[in-house]
Structure 1
Amino acid sequence: MTGLAYFTETRDGLFLGNDPARGPWSVDHCHAGPVTGLVARAAEAAVGPDKMLTRLTLDVLRPLPLAGLRVSSETVRNTRTLATTKVEVHDLDGTLCIAATSMHLTRKELGDVPTAPVTPLRFEDAEPGDPLLIGSLHDKPAFGSFIEMAYPKGQELKPGPKTIWMRVPPLLADEVPSPIQSMCALADCGNGISWNEPPTRLGFMNTDLTLQVHREPESDWLASESLSHWHGTGVGMSQSILHDTQGPVATALQTLVLHPLNR
């Protein structure tokens, strides 16, 4: 991973957003992907390493200020089989910005078991390319400019479904993120990958994110196969299959609110 970390943590547990955490819609607010990583970090810390985070659901209730966020977690249930948590993200004024829940399942050693046959995406065939996620409504350094990206050969960066490989910065400069924490930034990019209209013409912000994980990723490079459904009601949905270099690992879903932009 390269470049500046998404956040700097102060001694009193406040997370200050750095340039890579800045979102495309506002110069003062975070992209929800890095903040999702903080939520996963809090949930994993609350439960411990014996159980794997298998589902993370976030309601994004308000913009997420770069100026500072506080993350709190509570273990709601913890049994031999599963654990659940509640995680909240507040701004400096104490306003609730994200309400999240998580599910964790006990790790077992079952050996080889049958599973659906899937042909892995070939990272070896991917080609480095220009950043896709840099379109924004401001001129400050932001999320997409700090990510390494690669694309399947021959893929055009036009509106519609797309696949993109990404390698992202760490959450914190002095800490190695867990595999699932590293996947969170990509999980929240489905709408930005598969837009059906340029972001300077139509807004397509997500109001939530559900990440369903069936295997922890094993590579730094991760891919998202994403498509977005948009409707004249102003409601949409982005759905993504997330991969490491060995095959699929998770599914991410986002509900989208569509709105015209006056430029």
Structure 2
Amino acid sequence: MTSKALMAPSFFSQNSDGVFVGNDPARGPWSADHCHAGPVTGLAARAAEIEIGAEKMLCRLTLDILRPLPLSGLRVAAETTRHTRTLATTQITVHDLDNTLCAQGTSMHLVRKDLGDVPTAAVVPLDRAKAVPGPFSIGVGLHDKPYFGQFLDVAYPPGFDLHPGPKTLWMRTPNLLEGEQQSPIQSLCALADCGNGISWNAPPKEMGFMNTDLTLNVHREPEGDWHASESISHWHSSGIGMSQSVLQDEKGPVATALQTLVLHPPKA
């Protein structure tokens, strides 16, 4: 079977002015004109990694989503705010074509060392060989244009069903940027922003659950192009929620992702 992710266009193309223009896979499920925040998080990680360089690993990325992120064009920049032998930090901004600030964030990078074997927690990795292909967990989008969920390769542990509540899935996504190989952490960002869409407690037609931010903490760079998310969402009558995800590759956990959620019933 042909891989949807490998055959899909990259999430973004970059024009001669340095603007990132979203392709169909970058479109979110909520609006036909705006991006899914996961691919944009990948652009934020890319900007931070370029700014700091490969000597240090991006270990934390926090992105506050202030406004919808238009597919028509985004400018993404990162500026160093601290750089020592051990760590570095950046301030990241995402602007639209009208120079409106749409998202902002920070990153932290730690120096790479070679310590040999060190003790760590014993965790049994998920077994992708037993995973069963299936649809993206959020189902159809709220518009009729091609969107993010239609360009992914998705697989679930045996016996899955798309019930409300916590879920685990494997995902392979399109490349981040046309003509450029994405870094391991960039390849993780789209999945990191899917926790709310994986572990919803009611379908979108019954309750909206958009995230207002994403914090990604990485303790090991992922390997391969298939990554898994074990996700749970906590929803409350206050209209506030949170999604928590443990992200893994085929060797075991590599990161955690947290999203703050705003809940809103559908309009009558």
Sort the TM-score into its range (normalised by shorter chain): over 0.9
Secondary structure of residue in 2 paired with 1:131: coil
- Structure 2 counterpart of 1:261, from 240, 243, 266: 266
Whether contact under 8 Å (1:136, 1:200) holds in the other structure is no
% identity of equivalent residues: 68
Mapping of residues 30-109 of structure 1, within 5 Å: 30-109=35-114
Structure 1 segments (4+ residues) deviating >6 Å: none
Other-structure match for 2:3: none
Whether contact under 8 Å (1:166, 1:186) holds in the other structure is yes
2:228 alignment partner AA: A
Whether contact under 8 Å (2:14, 2:178) holds in the other structure is no
1:72 deviates by: 1.1
Other-structure match for 2:230: 225
Whether contact under 8 Å (1:118, 1:247) holds in the other structure is yes
Other-structure match for 2:197: 192
Which runs of 5 or more residues in structure 2 are unaligned?
1-5
1:169 aligns with 2:174: yes
Mapping of residues 136-151 of structure 1, within 5 Å: 136-151=141-156
1:146 deviates by: 0.3
For each residue in 1:21-47, what CA deviation from the matched residue of structure 2 results, as whole angstroms up to 9, or x when unmatched? Answer: 000111100000000000000000000
| Number of residue pairs aligned between Structure 1 and Structure 2 | 263
Whether contact under 8 Å (1:135, 1:199) holds in the other structure is no
1:129 aligns with 2:134: yes
For each residue in 1:194-235, what CA deviation from the matched residue of structure 2 results, as whole angstroms up to 9, or x when unmatched? Answer: 000001111000001000000000111000000000000000
Secondary structure of residue in 2 paired with 1:58: strand
2:114 alignment partner AA: E
1:18 alignment partner AA: N
2:133 alignment partner AA: P
Q: TM-score, normalised to structure 1's length? A: 0.99
Secondary structure of residue in 2 paired with 1:33: helix
- Structure 1 counterpart of 2:19, from 14, 21, 35: 14
Secondary structure of residue in 1 paired with 2:85: coil
Q: TM-score, normalised to structure 2's length? A: 0.97
Q: Which has the larger displacement, 82-91 or 127-136? A: 127-136
2:48 alignment partner AA: A
1:165 alignment partner AA: W
